[in-house]
Structure 1
């Protein structure tokens, strides 16, 4: 079975969110769908989008696992983004958590999955 992911993030201010997520993902969106939605393709069949939906903004939570978490953290620091939290779980998995201007959470994880 083929699996596609199209994960949505509700925001209040499209311009502010567009700028913030462009820094978070290191590039402009792959698609601007009108004046209130933008899409980033993170990998084949795996996309994240922002959409203006003020009544839902601030409640999204996403985790993205990467091969080199330290490299991601370093690159995001160059973009002016600092993790709000850095965690290491008992199994050795590490997580860096970032919050957009609305409070939506994006975490990046890496490390062993079965230590």
Structure 2
């Protein structure tokens, strides 16, 4: 078996309520709406984020997304009123952690130079 891609799922209580936040976070409308209660964003180098209605699991998801310029990403979101709940710098990456309106965790991370 060969895995060729990944789809990260984020459970929300109400997609209609969550959708504007995710559109701001990703800077665009969903790339696909395969069902009424699902929205998906595709990334240019592979992978998808799949946001879907599931009231029982809403708020328990965590997704890590890799960016090439974390500072620029954080700065672009600040005027929209979206700020990280924490920032961290480790030995290999720096991160900004966000929470959506349901409490799901979105972690944006940038590898530090010469670490991978």
Alignment TM-score > 0.5, same fold: yes
CA distance in 1, matches of 2:72, 2:96: 12
Matched, 1:104 2:99: no
Residue-pair matches, total? 114
> Could you say which residue in structure 2 is the equivalent of 1:18?
19
Runs of 4+ with deviation above 6 angstroms? none
Unpaired stretches in structure 1, ≥5 consecutive residues: none
CA distance in 2, matches of 1:3, 1:99: 28
Instruction: Kindly indicate whether the alpha-carbon contact (under 8 Å) linking 1:9 and 1:51 is maintained by their aligned counterparts in 2.
Output: yes
CA distance in 2, matches of 1:31, 1:62: 19
Shift of 1:42: 1.8
CA distance in 2, matches of 1:39, 1:65: 17
> Please, what is the CA RMSD of the aligned residues?
1.7
Superposition pairs for residues 1-115 of structure 1, below 5 Å?
1=2, 3-89=4-90, 91-112=91-112, 114=115
1:20-61 C-alpha deviation (Å, 9 max, x unpaired) = 110111101001122210011123431101110000111111
Instruction: Kindly indicate whether the alpha-carbon contact (under 8 Å) linking 1:3 and 1:45 is maintained by their aligned counterparts in 2.
Output: no
Q: The residue matched to 1:40 in structure 2 has which SS?
A: strand
TM-score for both structures, normalised by structure 1: 0.90
